[in-house]
Amino acid sequence: MAVSEEKTKRILIFSIAYVPFVGGAELAVKEITDRLGGFHFDLITFHFDRKLPKIEKIGNVIAHRIKGTKLFFSFFAFLRGLALHKKYKYDVVWAIMANRAGFAALFFKTFHPEVKFLLTLQEGDPLDYPKKQMGLFWFFLKHLFKTIFTKADYIQTISNYLAVWARKMDYKGRLEIIPNGVDINIFKKNLDNIDKLRSKLEAPLSYIWLITTSRLVEKNGIEDIIKALKYLDKKYKLFILGTGPLEERLRRITKDLDLEDRVKFLGQKDHKDIPDYINVSKVFIRPSLSEGMGNSFIEAMAAGIPVIGTRVGGIPDFIKDGETGLFCEVNSPQSIAEKVTEYINNPKRTDKIVETAQKLVREKYDWDLIAEKMKNIFEKLLAR
């Protein structure tokens, strides 16, 4: 039965990026809203690609794209939000991260205090990133930045690490930790796809393929994975999925280390195709320097391959060393190589780690469970 117009609750989302530009935060919004009926979702985002329409329905969300420069996104997104509010009378405003989207939601809340304000923290950069980005302006803007937190009616974070940050920013209200999730079904092994992809990539079983899936940025430690190959036998090779500002530098390092025949830069792949790339690999690695949570770890765990990460940010929420994964040292290629070898040389122990990790993902990280928890937050806000 269709939900009547009178019962439909309206939620306005501010997010700098959205589909088709998918990171962990954008994927989370898409997966959650797709599973929630009874709500009308409008989303205001930046117009990264002028070929995309200004207004587009994507799943259960109507995306409104703002042109201009990212510098002024907060202001123009706020104005668009005010215009939409005149038409729809929103019940909740939802900011995805305490960035320019957070400022837009704060401005909206200031003008419409009766509308409940939900702040979701998905930040993966070091927590001093806003201060570094603002530079000299931080002295003048730090109080306003904190107000994004203190004016929220409810904060949802994807990790304990970000929950602690929210409290450090003087937030005293309701807070809930709800991680990002994974569609477990799409990460099941498809043997036909794996064989075809292995042939296409020229990745025979005689080699041990490692994989990392991430933006090619400093915080994800990809340079350390490349350098780790120097400590491993030549049968070990590496897939790198993703693009980013460090790609040219990483290719140059690969060439300088004479590793071009052992490293494959595969570029950006559609999210639905990532499971097949993971499943032709033996070990997933991301030696992060900082991490809000790390969706890619959960996806690899769901796919049934062992993971290696660092003990930073939100990663310890799901990697328990020797139980659901292995920790390597930060900025240590040799430590990465040692952990890879530990997995390969101890297949029975590795199988047990993989089994435990998959059980954890099924019980805590299925998107259906996550969406239900987010629905409960919306209901609490609307009840109050």
List, for residues 250-282, the tens digit of each pLDDT value.
Answer: 999 999 999 999 999 999 888 888 888 998 999
Task: Identify the band that residue 190 occupies on the pLDDT scale cut at 50, 70 and 90.
Answer: low
pLDDT given for residue 2 in this prediction: 44
pLDDT of residue 384: 61
Mean pLDDT of 273-293: 93
Q: What pLDDT, on the 0 to 100 scale, is given for residue 5?
A: 44
**In the chain, domain spans:** 9-181+366-383, 184-364
- Calculate the average pLDDT of the chain: 92
CB-based contact 202:239 (threshold 8 Å): no
pLDDT for position 203:
66
Higher pLDDT: 337 or 280? It is 337
Q: How many CB atoms sit inside 10 A of residue 338's CB?
A: 17
**Looking at the whole model, is its pTM more than 0.95?**
no
CATH topology of domain 184-364: Rossmann fold (3.40.50)
pLDDT tens-digit series, residues 193-212: 777 777 777 766 778 999 99
Q: What whole-number distance in Å separates Cα of residue 232 and Cα of residue 116?
A: 54
Which amino acid type is present at position 153?
A: D
Predicted confidence (pLDDT) per residue in 120-132, tens digit:
999 987 677 676 6
Stretch among 178-187, 309-318, 330-339 having the lowest mean pLDDT: 178-187
Calculate mean pLDDT across residues 87-106. 96
pLDDT reported for residue 192: 65
Confidence (pLDDT) at 4:
43
Q: Which residue has better confidence, 50 or 200?
A: 50
pLDDT at 1 over 60: no
| Residue 215 per-residue DSSP state | -
Beta-carbon contacts of residue 246 (< 8 Å; ≥ 6 apart) = 216, 217, 218, 222, 223
> Is the distance from CB of 181 to CB of 31 less than 8 angstroms?
yes
Please answer whether residues 342 and 6 qualify as being in contact, where contact means their C-beta atoms are separated by less than 8 angstroms. Answer: no
Per-residue pLDDT, averaged over 67-81, amounts to: 93
- Let me know if the fold of 9-181+366-383 is the same as that of 184-364: yes
CA distance from start to end of the chain: 27
pLDDT, position 186: 86
User: 3-state class of 372 per DSSP?
Assistant: helix
Domain spanning 9-181+366-383, CATH architecture: 3-Layer(aba) Sandwich (3.40)
